[in-house]
């Protein structure tokens, strides 16, 4: 073990020891408003720490007021930590939510999203391909969260950043600013992140946060969601998964609770809904992006899924804004 890793372990152990007297208050996740004052905001380029072979990447972003963040990797899930500023966050069929400094949220893999800053904003984003990357000792927690799904009514929302999680973020930003760009460090920090999340937050809060990516077989679900934007039918999706159609259909229904075709239509509807909510997208853009062979095809799809034409749906969305 190198001196660098020994220092990291000692630093984290000392941090936990200092926090022992606060254990009774671990679930008091009131936002720490001092965080926005303590975190430096600079005009320097984004900082990275990437473990590409492990499917994990951390990155900081600085966004000016009215600017959009548009370069998230759609082949990964993203935990977004808003450490300074204010923004509007939206993905798929969900209405935009306002997120303030000191809050976090999840953008799941393959989601169509919009993140727009209302003020100078600094983010730390953790991109990860699958929940199988969390430490083995935390897999029991993931199973508990999965078992809670039937009891939850999911809504896209944010959670406050706990004090201890703030300290983790501040230290990691210093790592990245100092040029510590090691795959080993990246993996360790990802494992540390989920260790903190599972210990600092209530089970129902974690189940709600991770709801879109939880499942009996997280890897299978993650790969389905990754391939979905690039397929035209169920046979293509089964092929991407390297499975025969029969075994794929059985496993799919067990994981998603519906047939592959039902799910594909449902997910496609979410993406079409989001694209129609974005004023800059024309109907031709939507038609081409989602492989509708004609406007009649798009019109029929919208009437089946939403009960109205794409133009009528766009008017509704505009009135809601």
CATH number of the structural domain spanning residue 58: 2.60.120.10
Per-residue pLDDT band for 15 (boundaries 50, 70, 90) equals very low
The contacts of residue 119 (CB under 8 Å, 6+ apart) are: 65, 85, 86
At residue 49, does pLDDT exceed 80? no
Q: Are residues 64 and 207 in the same domain?
A: yes
Please indicate, yes or no, whether residues 59 and 162 belong to a single structural domain of this protein: yes
Q: Please report, for the domain that includes residue 311, its CATH number.
A: 1.10.10.60
pLDDT bin (cut points 50, 70, 90) of residue 47 is low
Residues 66-92: pLDDT tens digits?
A: 999 988 888 899 999 999 999 999 999
Decide if 263 is inside a domain: yes
Judge if 118 and 87 occupy the same domain: yes
Q: What is the pLDDT of residue 21?
A: 42
Q: Check whether 19 has a pLDDT greater than 50.
A: no
Quickly state the pLDDT bin for 16 (edges 50, 70, 90): very low
pLDDT tens sequence across 251-278: 999 999 999 999 999 999 999 999 999 8
Is there a single domain that holds both residue 208 and residue 239? no
Per-residue model confidence (pLDDT) at position 245: 93
Final residue belonging to a domain, choices 213, 239, 264: 213
């Amino acid at each position: 073990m190198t001196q660098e890793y020994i220092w990291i372990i000692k630093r984290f152990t000392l941090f936990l020891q200092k926090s022992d007297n606060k254990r009774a208050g671990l679930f008091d996740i009131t936002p720490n408003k001092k965080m926005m004052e303590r975190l430096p905001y600079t005009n320097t380029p984004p900082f990275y720490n990437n473990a590409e072979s492990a499917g994990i990447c951390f990155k900081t972003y600085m966004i000016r007021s009215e600017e959009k963040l548009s370069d998230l990797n759609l082949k990964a899930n993203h935990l977004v930590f808003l450490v300074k500023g204010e923004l509007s966050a939206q993905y798929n069929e969900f209405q935009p939510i306002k997120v303030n400094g000191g809050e976090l949220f999840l953008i799941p893999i393959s989601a169509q999203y919009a993140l727009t800053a209302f003020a100078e904003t600094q983010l730390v984003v953790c991109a990860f391909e699958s929940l199988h990357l969390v430490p083995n000792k935390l897999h029991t927690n993931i199973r508990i969260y999965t078992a809670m799904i039937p009891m939850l009514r999911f809504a896209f929302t944010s959670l406050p950043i706990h004090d201890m999680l703030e300290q983790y973020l501040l230290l990691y930003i210093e790592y990245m600013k100092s040029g510590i760009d090691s795959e080993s460090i990246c993996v360790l920090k990802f494992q540390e992140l989920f260790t903190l999340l599972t210990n600092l937050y209530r089970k129902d809060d974690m189940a709600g946060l991770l709801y879109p990516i939880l499942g009996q077989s997280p890897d299978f679900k993650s790969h389905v969601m990754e391939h979905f934007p690039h397929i035209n039918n169920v046979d293509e999706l089964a092929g991407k998964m390297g499975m025969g159609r029969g075994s794929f259909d059985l496993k799919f229904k067990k994981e998603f609770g519906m047939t592959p075709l039902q799910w594909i239509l449902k997910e496609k509807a979410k993406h079409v809904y989001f694209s129609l909510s974005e004023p800059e997208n024309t109907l031709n853009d939507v038609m081409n992006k989602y492989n509708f062979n004609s406007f009649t095809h798009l019109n029929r799809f919208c009437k089946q899924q939403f009960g109205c034409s794409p133009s009528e749906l766009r008017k509704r969305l505009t009135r809601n804004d």
